[in-house]
């Protein structure tokens, strides 16, 4: 998806895939295999199962990945959908980003097992644990599950152990600072995934210390970063998208009634 389309979705313009019908976080495009999500926690897992069932019926070896928080695993629909995927050996990978909080609810009040990955046992499917701060570990575990699904062996659950560096959203930062102990926040932020990956690249001799230190967005929230924290080509790329979206037209008001139901091609 192009940066122009992504920015258009944020600005709610006619040039966005959702044509201003949904917010930025629900971006998707069926033609390109990106399923738009819904706000209902875990609600995208049964949709992923439906898409996977279609792939299976058509004999394709495509795999569906669906990303959810650990809080979502306390929803009834999570269990129904994972059960369905397991029973029918659907090529679905359920990725759980365990950032240890669902708004103000800590993981131990959402999930009774030691690891969220243990939930997989009830469905007889693999439950993998990845270091969610390490991009390569997440990649390896994901590809293991993808290969397995491609062989027709069914779904896997991958718990990526991660950390919510700030509040649930900008609106939650102050509250988060009250309900989370500050040492927990400091410890979590110290393992920023960008810093972890940079360190690895330096160790492997791919990046020099000097190159690694040139740009440093890690550990900063959005309002604290400046253009200097990113390579100029990245800043230019983003500006291009933003400028395009600001100038783009809004959809026509009549569109509000279109595409709500399946339309009769005759009339």
Ligand X SMILES: Cc1ncc(C[n+]2csc(CCOP(=O)(O)OP(=O)(O)O)c2C)c(N)n1
| CB nearer to ligand X: pick between 15 and 73 | 73
- Best CA proximity match to 71, nearest among 44, 101, 38: 101
Minimum separation from the CB atom of position 250 to Mg ion (A):
34
Question: Least distance in Å: CB of 105 to ligand X?
Answer: 7
| C-beta of 43 vs 50, nearer to ligand X | 43
Min. distance of Cβ 260 from ligand X in angstroms?
22
Binding at 103: pick from Mg ion, ligand X, none (beta carbon under 5-8 Å per type): ligand X
- Write the binding mask 16 to 55 for Mg ion: x where contact by CB under 5 A, - elsewhere: ----------------------------------------
Query: Which region, judged by CB under 5 A, interacts with Mg ion, from 38-46, 93-101, 139-147, 197-205?
Result: 93-101
Contact of residue 241 among Mg ion, ligand X, none (CB under 5-8 Å per partner type) = none
- The yes or no reply on residue 103 touching ligand X (CB under 6 A) is yes
DSSP for 63-131 reads -EEEEEEGGGGGSHHHHHHHHHHHHTT--EEEEEEE-SEETTEEGGGT--SSSGGGGGGGGTS-EEEEE
> Is 117 in contact with 128 (CB distance < 8 Å)?
yes
Q: In this complex, which beta carbon is closest to ligand X, that of residue 106 or of residue 217?
A: 106
Q: Which residues pair with 58 in a beta bridge?
A: none
Binding to ligand X by CB under 6 A, coded x per residue (else -) over 65-94, reads ----xxxx--x-------------------
Question: Shortest Cβ distance from residue 174 to Mg ion (Å)?
Answer: 19
Q: Does 24 bind ligand X (CB under 6 A)?
A: no
**Residue 211 CB, nearest distance to ligand X (Å)?**
32
By CB under 6 A, tell whether 39 contacts ligand X.
yes
d(CA 107, CA 95): 16
Among positions 132-191, residues that touch ligand X (CB under 6 A) are 164, 168
CB of 19: closest distance to Mg ion in angstroms?
30
- Can you give the binding site for ligand X, defined by CB under 6 A? 39-41, 69-72, 75, 97, 99, 101-103, 164, 168
- Can you give the binding site for Mg ion, defined by CB under 5 A? 69-71, 99, 102
């Amino acid at each position: 998806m192009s940066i122009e389309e992504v920015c258009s979705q944020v600005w709610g313009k006619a040039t966005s895939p959702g044509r201003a019908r949904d917010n930025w976080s629900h971006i998707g495009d069926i033609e390109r295999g990106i399923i738009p999500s819904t706000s209902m926690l875990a609600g995208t897992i049964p949709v992923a199962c439906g898409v996977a069932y279609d792939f299976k019926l058509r004999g394709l070896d495509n795999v569906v990945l669906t990303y959810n928080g650990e809080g979502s695993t306390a929803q009834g629909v999570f269990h129904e959908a994972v059960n369905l995927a397991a029973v029918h050996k659907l090529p679905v990978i359920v990725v759980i980003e365990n950032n240890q909080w669902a708004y103000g609810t800590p993981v131990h009040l959402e999930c009774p097992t030691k690891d969220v990955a243990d939930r997989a046992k009830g469905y007889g499917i693999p439950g993998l644990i990845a270091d969610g701060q390490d991009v390569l570990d997440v990649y390896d575990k994901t590809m293991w599950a993808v290969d397995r699904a491609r062989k027709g062996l069914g779904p896997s659950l991958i718990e990526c152990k991660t950390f919510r560096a700030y509040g649930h959203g900008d609106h939650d930062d102050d509250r988060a600072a009250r309900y989370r102990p500050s040492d927990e926040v400091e410890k979590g932020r110290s393992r920023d995934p960008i810093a972890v990956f940079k360190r690895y690249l330096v160790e492997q001799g791919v990046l020099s210390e000097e190159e690694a230190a040139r740009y440093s967005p890690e550990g900063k929230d959005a309002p604290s970063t400046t253009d200097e924290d990113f390579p100029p080509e990245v800043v230019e790329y983003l500006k291009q998208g933003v400028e395009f979206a600001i100038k783009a037209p809004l959809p026509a008001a009549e569109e509000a009634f279109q595409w709500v139901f399946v339309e009769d091609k005759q009339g």
